[in-house]
Amino acid sequence: MPVRFAYLGPEGTFTEAALRTIPAAEQGERTPARSVPEALEAVRSGTADAALVPLENSVGGAVPVTLDELITGSPLMITREVLLPVEFVLGARTAAPLAAIRSIAAHPQASAQCRHWLQANVPDAVVVDVLSNAAAAISAATGEYDAAICAPIGVGRNGLTVLAEKIADRAEAVTRFALLTRPGPPAAPTGDDVTSLAVSIRHDQVGALLAVLTELAVRGINLSRIESRPTGEQLGTYVFFLDCTGHVAEPRLGEALQGLRRICAEVRFLGSYPKHRLQPEAPVAAPPGLSDDDFADSADWLERLRSGS
């Protein structure tokens, strides 16, 4: 069980809020890092047991630096995902009418997600870019700016007064975080798991990506996410990040991984871990004839043929 956790800092950000939803992290040692590479290097070097970093946002999409880090350097493994609803507030040192606000500190991604609210409620305020949501809260607390767009965790930590709650333009926005450790045996299947892979296809092979997708489709494996990133080696070469329903210990996903190993230039296993659901929801069922029971039955049938029984 990890006891030393690194995370993308500084303190008072959504990443810290997400990390503190993990019981072991709430009781363990938490160290903020200045960047995603720094957080993951702490795990690789052994100064941290695990690191939590953002993976994707439902509004802004994937976090490129995290994806790039997962395909470079020594391998790391995702052992857990955390989904956190993104709720922004407008905070200030003291209570004040919105009409009196003239300057607002905000991280660029935060102000982008609150753009319509800002135009409708504080059209005359100047929004100033800062390095993080935590930095925005601190600058408002010190009086450098009239107010700040920040995470709820930053309000109490900096003694701010909330002028407005839930100011994001999309109330359903969610950020997905990944907890990464050094490679080891995955936890046992739960029946509702995700397997993440980084796949390099042979760019000079016609239909290479289709062949990858076929290995999954013919086994009834649901592909919940696919994302491409350039390798940086030459124009036109990409790594594809795949999230599949299922666990590496399950027969049909195991067969698919064997197939990908045969046809791909490289397959990096990024982990099998429980799916985090914010609301109760049944896992996607395999099509008829492609369930784990169907695969087990066909394997038994083949074994009977081979043994002559």
Q: What is the pLDDT of residues 58-85, one digit of tens each?
A: 877 888 899 999 998 899 999 999 999 9
Per-residue model confidence (pLDDT) at position 57: 86
Per-residue model confidence (pLDDT) at position 229: 87
Using DSSP, state whether 225 is helix, strand or coil.
Answer: strand
Q: DSSP class of residue 230?
A: E
Query: Within the chain, which residues score under 70 in pLDDT?
Result: 204
Are 199 and 239 in contact, with CB atoms under 8 Å apart? Answer: yes
Q: Which residue has the tokens 């489709």?
A: 217
Per-residue model confidence (pLDDT) at position 207: 80
Is the bond leading into 10 cis (omega within 30 degrees of zero)?
Answer: yes
What is the DSSP secondary-structure string of 165-205?
S---S-TT-EEEEEEEESS-PPPPP-SSEEEEEEEE--TTS
Which residues are CB-neighbours of 280 under 8 A, at least 6 positions away?
none
Alpha-carbon distance of 198 to 226, in angstroms, equals: 10
Alpha-carbon distance of 13 to 305, in angstroms, equals: 59
Alpha-carbon distance of 169 to 101, in angstroms, equals: 19
Per-residue model confidence (pLDDT) at position 295: 85
CA nearest 218: which of 269, 256, 275, 171? 256
CA nearest 82: which of 39, 132, 18? 18
Q: For the chain, which domains are there?
A: 1-86+175-184 (3.40.190.10), 89-164 (3.40.190.10), 185-286 (3.30.70.260)
Residue 226: CB atoms within 10 Å: 14
Alpha-carbon distance of 11 to 102, in angstroms, equals: 26
Cβ burial, residue 14 (10 Å; 0-12/13-18/19+):
buried
Q: If residue 8 lies in a helix (H) or strand (E), which one and from where to where?
A: strand 4-8
What is the DSSP secondary-structure string of 48-78?
-SEEEEEEEETTTEE-HHHHHHHTSSS--EE
pLDDT tens digits along 38-61: 999 999 999 999 999 999 988 778
Per-residue model confidence (pLDDT) at position 272: 97
Per-residue model confidence (pLDDT) at position 204: 67
The count of C-alpha atoms lying within 13 angstroms of the C-alpha of 264, restricted to the half-sphere facing its C-beta, is 25
